[in-house]
Amino acid sequence: MKTLPPALQAHLDDGTTTLAWCWRITRADGVAFGFTDHDRTLTFEGTDFEPESGFTASEVRAGSDLSVDAQDAEGVLSSDRITETDILDGRWDNAEVELWRVNWADPGQRVLLRRGAIGQVRRGRVAFVAEVRSLSHVLGQTVGRTFQAGCDAALGDGRCGVNLEAAAFRGTGAVTDLLRDRAFTASGFGAFAAGWFAHGTVEWTSGANAGRRAEVLAHDLVDGLAVLTLLEAPVRPIGEGDSFIARAGCDKRVATCSAKFGNVTNFRGFPHIPGQDTILRYASRDGGHDGAVL
């Protein structure tokens, strides 16, 4: 149960209230935004909560069990604070949300009602709807290892141990020709075998996508030139001359871990675990398994 500040409780007991909702959203990059359904800017705790944002919210849904409480926040994409490009770019993914109830006549009278995070974002032509999940949504995440043939470590992390900054696994180059919105030829990768950067990453160092990363779907060699195909097209268009750093990828197989990285001692999968074909296998006379007594 929430304990209200005495001044706010007295204001509520008075019967005539001047209340407003305020939302503070802090993105993963540390940038904080304030929104309110009041008709003028409210300021507290170092944040300006602005009304000219096209930002509204649905009713708060909450339960006494451990189900995920949720609220929908709607906004207009024409706002200069919430743009379609930033939404597509993932800048609002899992952003921290604070919901405040504030006396707009005296913002010092306020209470923090709940915290949460941005969940699913649905986009339209001129507006978006973002799901605001309560902190209990973390309890629904799977924790622990998965028993599978493939490695469950991320390439280059502490469990893997591969140094992706080594010259053998890292290359720098630039876009020489744009083939499609997510495929291009690149200079500087002629010394690497085809497929070396498949399942790896590209980190853009110049151009419209500078500072962002993308996953590599395929790496081919055509007449000595590297052709890289990204898993998804970047939000901002790729341009000729854009420079980037490519890091090698891994398909999570034990053979690749041994031959490509020499790191089989740190392989985090179970390559000899029986597959589904073991369960579906049936008796066969040709294979010597005819169901007879052994």
Indicate if 134 and 11 belong to the same structural domain: yes
Residue 223 in domain? yes
Indicate if 68 and 186 belong to the same structural domain: no
Summarize the confidence of residues 235-264 as an average pLDDT: 94
Higher-pLDDT residue of 30, 250? 250
Residue 58 in domain? yes
Indicate if 99 and 194 belong to the same structural domain: no
Integer Cα distance of 21 and 72 in angstroms? 14
| pLDDT attached to residue 171 | 94
How buried is 244 (Cβ within 10 angstroms: 0-12 exposed, 13-18 middle, 19+ buried)? buried
Residue 290 in domain? no
Indicate if 202 and 106 belong to the same structural domain: no
Residue 239 in domain? yes
Range of the domain at 221: 167-247
| pLDDT attached to residue 77 | 44
Q: How many domains does the chain have?
A: 2
What are the residues facing 111 on neighbouring strands?
101
Indicate if 84 and 195 belong to the same structural domain: no
Number of alpha carbons in the 13 Å side-chain half-sphere of residue 199: 11
Indicate if 80 and 44 belong to the same structural domain: yes
| pLDDT for 292 beyond 70 | no
| pLDDT attached to residue 68 | 45
The predicted-structure confidence for 147-201, as pLDDT tens digits, reads as follows: 889 999 999 999 999 999 999 999 999 999 999 999 999 999 988 999 999 999 9
- Alpha helix (H) residue ranges in the chain: 6-13, 84-88, 254-259, 276-280
Q: Are residues 228 and 183 in contact, defined by beta-carbon separation less than 8 angstroms?
A: yes
What are the residues facing 175 on neighbouring strands?
186
Indicate if 127 and 190 belong to the same structural domain: no
By three-state DSSP, how is residue 82 classified? coil
| pLDDT for 253 beyond 70 | yes
**What CATH number does residue 230 fall under?**
2.40.30
Q: How many other CB atoms are there within 10 angstroms of residue 15's CB atom? A: 6
| pLDDT attached to residue 55 | 55
| Weakest mean pLDDT among 137-146, 188-197, 206-215, 234-243 | 137-146
The predicted-structure confidence for 215-232, as pLDDT tens digits, reads as follows: 999 999 988 889 999 999
